[in-house]
Structure 1
C-alpha cells in the first residue's frame, strides 16, 4: 500500500501540482524565516549604512539571502528523495559555498578575488560531476560545436558573467528579486516541457522563496536587502538554469528550441546582461576607471533619477524584460543570427521607453508648472 501511495504522488504523475506545492512551500519557509533574520540583524546591528551612491536613506539589514538559502535547502531536502538526487545534492553543495562567501562579504567584506574563486569552484563542481555544459554556439557565427576544453572554459565564463551581472542589478527595491522570479518561472515551464522535473521544481522553489523576500524588500517597516548572500546564490542558480537549458536543448535535436537556445537564454537575462555591458563600457571607455568600480550609472539608477519610484522603476524594467521574452519567442522561426540582431535592436529600444515617456510628459506640461 505504501509503495502504491508513493507511486501515486511521484512528480512524474503530477508535475504541475508538485511545482505549485514546491513554490508554496518555498514561500512559507522563507516567510517564516524572515522575522528571525530581521530580529538578529537589528539586535546585532548588522545593517547597511547609506552612502553617497545608495538608493536608500536609512540603515537596513542586508541578510535577505539567508531566508532564500534556508528555504531552498529545506525544500530540496523535503522533496529531493523523489527527484534527481545527484544533481540536487551538487546544487546544494555549490550554493552553500557561495552562501558563506556572500555572508562573509555582507558581514565583514570579501575581496573580489575570493568571490571569483568561490564562483569558479561552485561552477566547476557541477561541470565535473554532471557534465552539464554549453556544447556549442548553435550556429552563431557559423560555430556549432566547441572542442571539449573550450566548451568547459566558455561554460565557466557564462557562469561568472551571469552571477556578476545579476549582482550588479541589485541596486533598487525589488528589481533583482523580480527579475529572478520572472526568469525562474519561464525556466520552470521550459524544464517542465523538456521533462526535466528536478530542474523545474528547483526553479519553482526559488520563485517561492524570492516572493517571500520581495514582501520584505518592498516593506517600509520590515525592509531587508538581498545582499551578496542572496545575489550570489540566486545569480548562480540562474546561471545553472541557463547552462542546463542550453545543454538539454543542444543535446536533443527533437527539441523545439534546438537551434534557438542561445537567443532564448539571452532574452531571459537581457536586462542584467545589457546593463552590465553598458556600465562596463562607460567605466572603461568614458570614465577611464576600473569596470568594477561602483557608481550610479546603471539603467535603474537613471530611471530613478527621472522621478520614478523604486516600485515604478522595477515594474518598468520587469515588464520590458517580459515583453522582450514574448517577442523573442514569436521570432523563433527566423534565422538564429537574425534573431540575435533583432533582439539587440528591440531590446535596446524598449529600455529607452521610460526616458522617452518622461521626456514627453515634461514637454507637455505648461511652462509655469516647472
Structure 2
C-alpha cells in the first residue's frame, strides 16, 4: 500500500504541505538541539574567544553549524522519499563532508588547503554524478555554450567562490544567517515557479533551520555562532541552488528565466560576492598577502566603524540585497547585457550611498 502510494504520489499536488512539513521539522530539530549544544560547548570550553579583529566581546559557543546540519539532514531524510532522491542524497553527502571539515576547524584548526580539497571533492562529485553544471552565460558578453571541461571547471569555481563567500561574511551577528535565509527563500520561490519541488523542499528545510539559528545568534543570553561547520554547509547548499537554477533555466526553452537566470543569481548573491571579490583584491593587490588571511577590511567592518550596531548592519545589507533582487526581477525581460549593467550600477550605488553621504557630511 505504501509502495503504491509513493508510486502515484505527485509532489506538485502537495507542495504546500511538503514545505510546511520541512520547515516544521527543521525548526523543531534546531530549537530542540541548540540548548544542548550550547551546554556542551560551555562545559567543554568549545568557544570563540574575542581577539583583535573580533566584532564581539567575551566568549561565545561557535558550534551552531551542528544544529543547522542536523535539522537539514533530518528534514530532507523524512520529506525526501517521494522526491528526487539521487540529487538530494548526493547533496546530503556533500554537506556531510563539509560539515565534519568545518567542525574540526571550529574545535581544533584545519589548514585552508584541507578545507579547499574537501570543498573541491564535494562539488566535483555532485557535478559528475548529476551532470548539473553551468553550460553558458545565457548570452552575457556573447557567451552561450562552453565546452564540457571548461563548463565543469567554471562550475567548480562557482562552488568554491560561493562556499568561501559565506565563510568570509560570517563576521557580524545575523549577517551570514540572514543572507542565507534570504537566498533560500528567493531560490525557493524561483524553484517553485520552475516546478523543481525537490529544491523547494530543500530550501524550506534550510529556511526552518536558519530561523531557529538566528533566534540564538541574535540572543543576548544564549548567543551562538554558526562557525565554519555552518557557513560551509550553507555556502554549499546556496551554490547547489545557484548551479541547479542556471542549469535548469538554460536547458529549457520554455523556462521563465531562460534569459535572466545568471543575473537573478548575481542579484541574490550580490553582497557575498561583492565583499569577497573586494576583499580578495585588497589583500592580493594592495596588501600583497594571502587572500585567506584575516583582516578588518570587510564591508560589514566599515558599517561597524561608522557606528552601526550588528543588527542595524545586517538589516541595511539584507534590505539592499532584497531591493537588488526586485530590480533584477523587474528588468528580467530586457537584453541580458543590459540587465547586468543595471544590476552592477544599482548595487554599486546602493552599497556606496551611505559612505558617500557620510564623506560629504564631513
Name the TM-score class by shorter chain. over 0.9
3-state SS of paired residue (1:48): strand
Q: CA deviation at 1:354?
A: 3.2
Q: Tell me which moved more, 202-211 or 281-290.
A: 281-290
Corresponding position of 2:27 = 27
Q: Is the 8 A contact 2:63 2:227 kept in 1?
A: yes
Query: 5 Å matches for 1:49-198?
Result: 49-198=49-198
Q: CA deviation at 1:140?
A: 1.3
Q: Is the 8 A contact 2:138 2:259 kept in 1?
A: yes
CA distance in 2, matches of 1:138, 1:5: 40
Q: Is the 8 A contact 1:267 1:325 kept in 2?
A: yes
Q: Which runs of 5+ in 2 are unaligned?
A: none
Query: 5 Å matches for 1:182-221?
Result: 182-221=182-221
Q: CA deviation at 1:339?
A: 1.1
Q: Is the 8 A contact 1:316 1:354 kept in 2?
A: no
3-state SS of paired residue (1:60): strand
Corresponding position of 1:241 = 241
Q: CA deviation at 1:258?
A: 0.5
Corresponding position of 1:11 = 11
Q: CA deviation at 1:285?
A: 2.2
Q: Which runs of 5+ in 1 are unaligned?
A: 364-370
Q: Is the 8 A contact 2:9 2:82 kept in 1?
A: no
The 1:52–1:124 alpha-carbon spacing in structure 2 relative to 1, beyond 3 Å, is same
The 1:358–1:222 alpha-carbon spacing in structure 2 relative to 1, beyond 3 Å, is farther
The 1:357–1:23 alpha-carbon spacing in structure 2 relative to 1, beyond 3 Å, is farther
CA distance in 1, matches of 2:112, 2:5: 50
Corresponding position of 2:256 = 256
Corresponding position of 1:351 = 351
The 1:3–1:110 alpha-carbon spacing in structure 2 relative to 1, beyond 3 Å, is closer
Q: Is the 8 A contact 1:303 1:354 kept in 2?
A: no
> Per-residue displacement from partner, 1:259-284 (whole Å, max 9, x unpaired)?
11111111110000001111111122
CA distance in 2, matches of 1:147, 1:94: 25
3-state SS of paired residue (2:80): helix
Q: CA deviation at 1:358?
A: 5.0
CA distance in 2, matches of 1:173, 1:290: 25
Q: CA RMSD in A?
A: 1.6
Q: Is the 8 A contact 1:50 1:59 kept in 2?
A: yes
> Per-residue displacement from partner, 1:10-56 (whole Å, max 9, x unpaired)?
53212123212211221111111101110110010000111000001
> Per-residue displacement from partner, 1:206-240 (whole Å, max 9, x unpaired)?
01101100000000110000100000100000000
Q: Is the 8 A contact 1:49 1:60 kept in 2?
A: yes
Normalization by structure 1: what TM-score? 0.94
Corresponding position of 1:271 = 271
Q: How many residues are treated as equivalent by the alignment?
A: 362
